Structure 1
Amino acid sequence: MRLLVLGTGVMAKNQLTHFSKIDGVTVVGAVDTDPDRLSAFADKFNIEKRFHSLDEAIAWGEFDAATNITPDRIHHPTTMALIAAGKHALCEKPLAENYPKALEMTEAAEKAGVINMVNLTYRNVAPLQRAREMVLAGELGTIKHVEASYLQSWLVSRAWGDWRTESTWLWRLSTGHGSNGVLGDVGIHILDFAAYGAATDIDHVFARLKTFNKAPGGQIGEYMLDANDSFTMSVDFANGALGVIHASRWATGHLNELKLRIYGEKGSLEVIHRPSGSELRGCLGEDAETATWREIEVTPVPTNYQRFAEAVASGIQPDPNFRHAANLQKVLDLAMVTERERRELKV
């Protein structure tokens, strides 16, 4: 697979670390509007072809697929251009800023017959994959209740950088700079974590969003700090289970933690993922009588990057695809409506 990298920021470096280890993948070009950032990135990864616009790269055309690592609001126009050029596309989350744009991308990709995949990175978490297998195998019985959380503390801790002075973080706090807050940034991750792990879809949603005061007048320089910092969400799942999902950037003591608890009539599972590692615990069978939890061993799983490369080679569409991401975006869009209207909505 001849791969084009679109956008050369921090996540691009992370992706290239993975792609460079996959046999049969050659990174043939990189695109960025910032010439200094482009040069530094291309030099680091020994990429010969360098473009300051996607149009230039498409005119050149000597690539099979692209990984789109541009800012959220740029995903739609750039991915549509790639699809029109007949290129396979791996797109960072969220697929688009809203459901109509995400649906347009989905339908265009399906009509063009190109491989389309969204980089929901927590699909790489082996304990989540194992939990889903156990749910589908009926080891928990009928699922009754699901809890999921995505906790970050970068509004409290400077471990990842200082949001007060760095544009990398400030834009994520400002709707005027394209942010839909924590809901738009990591909401799609935790919705996928919950629904995928519990092997079901979200059917109804009711959400509350909160923006806390962070600076005098709610503004730092050109950035109005008006995007949501925390959300809580109650959901009904298609399998009949009730769910509670929440996320916050104010979770002191949690740098970047996803947690999922799945409760069934025959047992329960807990998945925890932190920067330091992941784990799966279960309370199953006779252990349910004594509330005894035990660690469950899991084996490594292929990464999204490996599965994307395999899909391009085989022509077989992988998951999570654009349509899945668009459906999750619909839930996120409706969550914002439920906040405004204070009522539950059917997905």
Structure 2
Amino acid sequence: MRLLILGTGWMAQEHARRFGAIEGVEIVGAVDVDAARVGEYADAYKIPKRFTSLEAALDWGDFDAVANVTPDRIHHPTTMALVAAGKPVLCEKPLAENFRKANEMADAAEAAGIVNMVNLTYRNVAALQKARRMVQAGEIGTVRHVEASYLQSWLVSKFWGDWRTDPKWLWRLSRGHGSNGVLGDVGIHILDFASYGAALDIDHVFCRLRAFDKAPGNRIGEYDLDANDSFAMTLDFANGAFGVVHASRWATGHINELRLRIHGDKGGIEVVHNLDGSMLKACVGDNVENAKWEELDAGTVPTNYQRFVEAVKSGAQTEPTFRHAAGLQKVLDLAVVSDEKRAELRAIADTQ
């Protein structure tokens, strides 16, 4: 498979490493509006062709599929052009800035009949995949209650650098620089972690968002620090189950941790994923009576990158699709409105 990488920022390096390690994949071209950056990137990963516009790459056209690693606001126009050209696309998350654009991308990809995927990276966690299979097999009975959290501490810790002086972090705190805060940054990840793991669609959402004081006048240089730092939401799932989902950048002691607890009427499952790895625990069968939890071996699973390559080769669509990501974006959009109106809103989103 001949692959084009569109966008050559930080995440594009991960794409180059991941795709470059897959047998049969040749990265044949890279695109970035910054000529110097695309040149350095192409040299670093030994990519023969480099372009400063998508139009030039499409005019050349000698590639089978595309990894779209452009900034969020660029996903929609570039992906629509790629779909129109009949090119399969793996797009970084979030699929688009809002549900309307994400839905348009899903409609276009489905109408064109091309393979489309969104890189929801935590689908690569084997413990999450096994948890979902256990739920679907009925091992914990009917799901009644779901808890999910995504905790980071980069507003407290300098593990990834100092947000006060680094534009890489400052823009994530400023709505004027295109950020929708922690909700926009990791909300799609933890919603997918929860709804996919529990194998449930989201029916209703109620959300609260909060930006805390971080600097004098909540401003550093050109950055107004007004994007949300934490969110808490409650969900009604389609089967009647209740969900509690929250995320924060103020979670002292947690560098980057996702946690999911799924409680059914016959058992429970817990998934934890952080920088140390992943863990899967279950309380099922006779252990329910004395609340005994046992750690399980989740095995290994293919990555999104590997599954995208196989899908392109076979022509068979695989998850997570544009349609799935659009459903998650619908919930995220409604979460913002819910906070503004202090109201529960109906989502009816296909998120499982």
TM over 0.5: yes
- SS of 1:309's equivalent in the other structure is helix
Which residue is equivalent to 1:239? Answer: 239
Shift of 1:301: 0.3
Which stretch of structure 1 is more off in the superposition, 197-206 or 164-173? 164-173
What does residue 110 of structure 1 align with?
110
| Partner amino acid, structure 2, of 1:298 | A
1:45-64 to structure 2, matched below 5 A, reads: 45-64=45-64
Q: Which runs of 4+ in 1 moved over 6 A?
A: none
**Residue 83, structure 1, aligned to residue 75, structure 2:** no
Instruction: Give 1:99's aligned residue.
Output: 99
* Secondary structure of residue in 2 paired with 1:140: coil
**1:151-192 deviation line (CA, Å, top 9, x unaligned):** 011111111122111111111111111111110110000000
Q: Which residue type is aligned with residue 140 of structure 1?
A: I
> What is residue 340 of structure 1 aligned with on the other side?
340
Partner residue, 2:209: 209
Which residue number corresponds to residue 218 of structure 2?
218
- In the alignment, the residues of structure 2 paired with residue 63 and residue 174 of structure 1 have an alpha-carbon distance, to the nearest angstrom, of 37
Structure-to-structure mapping, 1:279-298, within 5 angstroms: 279-298=279-298
After superposition, the C-alpha distances for 1:65-88 in whole angstroms (9 at most, x for unaligned) are: 110111111111111111111111
CA distance in 2, matches of 1:298, 1:343: 39
Q: Which amino acid aligns with 2:42?
A: A
Moved more, 9-18 or 293-302: 9-18
Residue aligning to 2:350? none
Distance 2:221 2:32 in 1: 26
Alignment of 1:303-342 (within 5 A): 303-342=303-342
Unaligned runs of 5+ in 2: 348-352
Q: Cα deviation per residue 1:84-108 (whole Å; 9 max; x = unaligned)?
A: 1111100000000100000111111
Structure 1 unpaired stretches of 5+: none
Moved more, 78-87 or 327-336: 78-87
Show CA shifts across 1:226-252 (max 9, x none).
Answer: 111100000001121100000001111
3-state SS in 2 of match to 1:122: helix
Aligned length: 347
Question: How far is the alpha carbon of 1:5 from its aligned partner?
Answer: 0.5
CA distance in 1, matches of 2:224, 2:132: 41
**Normalized against structure 2, the TM-score is what?**
0.97
Please give the secondary structure, in 2, of the residue aligned with 1:33. coil
Q: Give the drift of 1:40.
A: 2.1
* Aligned-partner Cα distance in 2 for 1:90–1:126: 20
Q: Structure 1 CA distance, aligned partners of 2:162 and 2:10? A: 16
Q: Give aligned-pair identity as a percent.
A: 68
If the length of structure 1 is used for normalisation, what is the TM-score?
0.98
Amino acid at match of 2:181: G
- Distance, in Å, in 2 between the alignment partners of 1:299 and 1:20 is 24
Give the residue type in structure 1 aligned to 2:270: E
Q: Distance in 1 between matches of 2:68 and 2:158?
A: 28
Q: Which amino acid aligns with 2:337?
A: V
Compute the displacement of 1:291 (Å).
1.2
Q: CA RMSD in A?
A: 0.9
Separation of aligned partners in 1, 2:222 and 2:112: 41
Measured against aligned partners, the alpha-carbon deviations of 1:24-56 in whole angstroms (never above 9, x if no partner) come to: 211000111223322221111100101111111
Q: Tell me the secondary structure at the aligned position of residue 343 of structure 2.
A: coil
266-275 or 164-173: which moved more? Answer: 164-173
CA distance in 1, matches of 2:48, 2:71: 24
Deviation sequence 1:279-337 (CA, Å, 0-9, x none): 10011111111111110011100100000000000110111000000000000000000
Alignment partners' CA distance in 2, 1:211 and 1:255: 19
Q: CA deviation at 1:135?
A: 0.3
Q: What is residue 249 of structure 2 aligned with on the other side?
A: 249
In structure 2, distance between residues paired with 1:337 and 1:258: 25
In structure 2, C-alpha distance between the alignment counterparts of 1:146 and 1:65, rounded to whole Å: 37
My pick for the range that moved more, 128-137 or 63-72, is 63-72
Q: What SS is found at the alignment partner of 1:295?
A: strand
Query: What is residue 74 of structure 1 aligned with on the other side?
Result: 74
- In structure 2, the partner of 1:165 is 165
Separation in structure 2 between the aligned mates of residue 37 and residue 289 of structure 1, nearest angstrom: 60
Give a deviation string over 1:258-281, Cα, whole Å, max 9, x none. Answer: 000000111100000001100100
> C-alpha separation between the residues in 2 aligned to 1:341 and 1:6?
38
Task: Point out the more displaced range, 77-86 or 227-236.
Answer: 77-86
Correspondence for 2:133: 133
**Distance across 2 between alignment mates of 1:333 and 1:317:** 26
Match of 1:258 in 2: 258
**2:293 & 2:58 partners in 1: Cα distance?**
54
